[in-house]
Each structure stands twice: as structure tokens, then as C-alpha cells.
């Protein structure tokens, strides 16, 4: 059933005021197909949102907003120590990570406490503590807007990159993701070489112990969206070439940097922002978090315009000081609300 003029303020973790002209919450393949058929029939703009954890919503989302709520998951034995895990797009990601760890399955334990639903995970190619979703994802099941056809994409077809995928480009708001297939392992393979994770757990740690350690680190550094509106990391960690990295390190010898296989260097966006003196800044209803400068926060009563203006201010400060461009991580959807609150 399609609802009209639906408040989405509680449907995005930034808590920004937003209204969907129409909203369909789909709990099955059939409902998802019907939503796409209606959108195509009426030529409605389509926006697909999950848990709203990596979005900046403008006040008005015209057309049809779809929220997948397919919440089943099941395990399928594969070869040897491998287990294929089928995950509905509406499954809570962190709860899935905990459940798989409790079963002794390895592969996604470092991705604990990432907010949102499973269906959004491949869009962003979520990653944390040295692990990316692309390493364990085998298939993405989806329905295309064009003809409401079901389709399965393999890992290569998803065109995964750093916090990037085909779902942010050619397929953005052209499909509804309905299910993921992950390939996990019963064989221990802890990844503890990122940050201070190795100091918190032993090399013989179980998946559940790693989940607990990662969750503890994230809680120490990142604000809880239920208490303070935020979308997690607001900027991607920038990548520069080797020459620019050498020049920056000559000027800033303590700058955190991470060499990449292609010869480039990844920098820590949070450190760059902190060095500009912006950590803890409050600008009206929005600000920079006081413990993690990579996180922009909404204190309440603000708007997407205020938040994006702050983001531009932060990015400009970093570019002036370091000559490095920051790229926004959350996707931006919607527009200004039309006069009178109705259709544009």
C-alpha cells in the first residue's frame, strides 16, 4: 500500500526533516515489483532508502520512496568450510553480524555496529577495520525498474570501489535490492591489523570476541545516532598520489598515511579536519563531533542546507591548508519543498 505525505524525520539517522510524497514499504518480491510497476506507470521519480544511515535528505522527496523490509535470512552449506548466507535487504546489518559470529562464521565480524540494513551495504561497499563487504559478497539480487525484472549481479558486476559501487552510478534509484548472498567461512581468519584492534583481542579470538572489540571501539569514537543525529563518517578518506603524499609528509611529518597497492596513499580525513581546528565546532543546529572530526552532527532543529553548508566549510578549510579535496560519503536525495507543500 502506498502512503502519501509521510514524515521521514525518524527514517534518517541525521534526524533531518523530510517528507516523502509517497512511500511504499515492501515486504516481498511481489510488493517490490508492484511498487516499481506503479512508479514506471506514473513516471514517478524513485528513491530507495533502507535504514537511512548514510543519507542526507532534503525536505521534499517527490515521486515514490521505497523502503525494502524483506527480513529473512538463511544459511546454505557450500564447499568445504564455506557457508553461503542469504540475507534479505531489510535485515538489520549489525544483528546479522552478531548472529553469524555466534555461529562461528568468519568474514564480517570487523563490520560490526555499522548502522543500517543489509540492502544498503553493497551500495556503499561498507568497510571498517581493514575489511570491505566486497571481500565476502557473492551475489546481489535485485529488481530493475525497467520492466520490473528480477536480476542477479555477481561481485564483478557490482563494480565495487572504495565506498563505491554501480548502485551509486548507473543503477542509482533504478533498482530495488532484495537480497544479498555472502560467502562466509567456518575456518578462523581474524583480521586484526587495523588500528588498535590487535591490542584488544588475542590472535586466537573468536568472531564474537572481535565483534565485541570492534563495537567497543566504535562506541568510544562515534556518537549514537539515537542520541545525536549523524550519518557516521561524512567524508571519504582521500587518496593522493605518491608525489603529493611525499610533499605533505615533508610539511606534516606526523600525518597518518596508508600506502595503497596502486602506489597511491590514503590519508585520514578526520586528522586533516582536526588539524584545521574544527573538531567540536558548532555552527547553529549542526556541528563537527568533539571526539571524531570525520563525523558531522545534527543537534536538532536544523536542515539539510545547514549541514551541507557546514560540510562545504570543512572541505574548504582542508583544501586551503593541505591542498586535498574531501568527498562527501552520504548520498543526498530530495529537493526543497514546493510552495504550499504540494507537488512541484
Q: Which long-range contacts (CB under 8 A, 24 or more apart) does 247-255 make?
A: 248/322, 248/323, 248/324, 252/322
- Quick one: average pLDDT of 100-116? 97
pLDDT of residue 77: 77
CATH of range 2-70; options 2.70.160.11, 3.40.50.300, 3.30.43.10, 3.60.10.10 = 3.30.43.10
Q: What's the rounded mean pLDDT across residues 62-73?
A: 97
Helix axes 207-221, 93-102, angle to 10 degrees: 150
Tally of CB atoms within 10 A around 261: 5
Burial group, residue 118, by CB count within 10 angstroms (0-12, 13-18, 19+): buried
Per-residue model confidence as pLDDT tens digits over 165-174: 999 999 999 9
SS3 content of the chain, % helix, strand, coil (to 5): 30, 30, 40
Mean per-residue pLDDT for 75-88? 91
Q: Cell numbers for 191, please give them.
A: 583480521
Q: Is 9 a catalytic residue?
A: no
| CA atoms lying within 13 Å on the CB side of residue 5 | 6
Q: Which CATH class is domain 73-220?
A: alpha beta
HSE value, Cβ hemisphere, 13 Å, CA-based, for 286? 23
pLDDT surpasses 80 at 195: no
For the chain, the average pLDDT equals: 95
Catalytic, 189? Answer no
Domain covering 235-328, topology: 3.90.78
Whether 199 is catalytic: no
Task: State whether residue 164 is helix, strand or coil.
Answer: strand
- The pTM score is 0.92
Catalytic residue among 233, 303, 331, 337: 233
Which of 83, 67, 307, 263 lies closest to 176, judged by CA? Answer: 67
Residue 143 · residue 66 · CB < 8 Å: no
Catalytic hit among 21, 31, 58, 329? 329
Mean pLDDT over 141-155 rounds to 97
Q: What is the pLDDT of residues 323-342, one digit of tens each?
A: 999 999 999 999 998 876 65
Q: Calculate ∠ Cα 215-221-224, nearest 5°.
A: 70
Report pLDDT for 80. 84
pLDDT at 120 over 70: yes
pLDDT band at 344 (very low <50, low <70, confident <90, very high): very low
Of the chain, the percentage scoring pLDDT greater than 90 comes to 92
Query: How many residues make up the chain in this entry?
Result: 344
How many Å apart are CA 197 and CA 31, to the nearest integer? Answer: 42
**Domain regions of the chain by residue span:** 2-70, 73-220, 235-328
| Catalytic member of 67, 145, 155, 163 | 163
Quick: pLDDT tens for 212-268. 999 999 999 899 999 999 999 999 999 999 999 999 999 999 999 999 999 999 999
Amino acid at each position: 500500500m502506498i502512503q502519501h505525505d509521510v514524515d521521514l524525520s525518524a527514517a534518517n539517522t541525521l534526524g533531518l526533516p523530510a517528507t516523502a510524497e509517497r512511500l511504499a514499504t515492501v515486504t516481498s518480491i511481489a510488493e517490490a515489483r508492484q511498487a516499481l510497476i506503479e512508479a514506471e506507470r506514473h513516471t514517478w521519480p524513485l528513491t530507495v532508502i533502507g535504514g537511512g544511515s548514510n543519507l542526507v535528505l532534503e525536505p521534499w522527496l517527490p515521486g515514490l520512496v521505497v523502503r525494502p523490509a524483506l527480513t529473512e535470512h538463511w544459511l546454505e552449506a557450500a564447499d568445504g568450510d564455506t557457508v553461503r548466507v542469504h540475507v534479505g535487504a531489510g535485515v538489520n546489518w549489525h544483528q546479522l553480524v552478531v548472529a553469524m559470529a555466534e555461529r562461528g562464521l568468519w568474514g564480517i565480524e570487523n563490520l560490526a555496529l555499522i548502522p543500517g540494513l543489509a540492502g544498503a551495504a553493497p551500495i556503499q561497499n561498507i568497510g571498517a577495520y581493514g575489511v570491505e563487504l566486497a571481500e565476502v559478497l557473492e551475489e546481489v539480487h535485485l529488481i530493475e525498474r525497467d520492466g520490473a525484472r528480477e536480476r542477479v549481479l555477481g561481485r564483478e558486476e557490482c563494480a565495487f570501489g572504495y565506498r563505491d559501487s554501480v548502485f551509486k552510478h548507473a543503477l542509482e534509484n533504478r533498482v530495488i535490492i532484495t537480497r544479498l548472498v555472502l560467502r562466509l567461512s567456518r575456518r578462523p581468519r581474524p583480521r586484526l591489523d587495523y588500528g588498535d584492534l590487535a591490542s584488544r583481542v588475542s590472535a586466537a579470538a573468536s568472531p564474537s570476541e572481535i565483534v565485541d572489540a570492534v563495537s567497543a571501539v566504535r562506541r568510544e569514537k562515534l556518537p549514537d545516532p539515537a542520541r545525536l543525529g549523524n550519518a557516521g563518517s561524512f567524508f571519504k578518506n582521500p587518496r593522493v598520489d605518491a608525489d603529493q603524499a611525499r610533499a605533505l609528509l615533508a610539511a606534516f611529518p606526523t600525518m597518518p598515511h596508508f600506502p595503497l597497492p596502486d602506489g597511491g596513499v590514503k590519508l585520514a580525513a578526520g586528522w586533516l579536519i582536526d588539524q584545521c581546528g574544527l573538531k567540536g565546532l558548532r555552527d547553529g543546529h549542526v556541528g563537527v563531533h568533539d571526539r571524531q572530526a570525520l563525523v558531522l552532527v545534527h543537534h536538532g532543529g536544523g536542515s539539510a542546507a545547514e549541514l551541507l553548508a557546514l560540510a562545504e566549510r570543512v572541505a574548504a578549510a582542508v583544501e586551503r591548508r593541505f591542498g586535498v579535496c574531501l568527498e562527501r560519503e552520504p548520498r543526498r536525495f530530495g529537493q526543497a519543498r514546493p510552495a504550499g507543500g504540494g507537488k512541484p
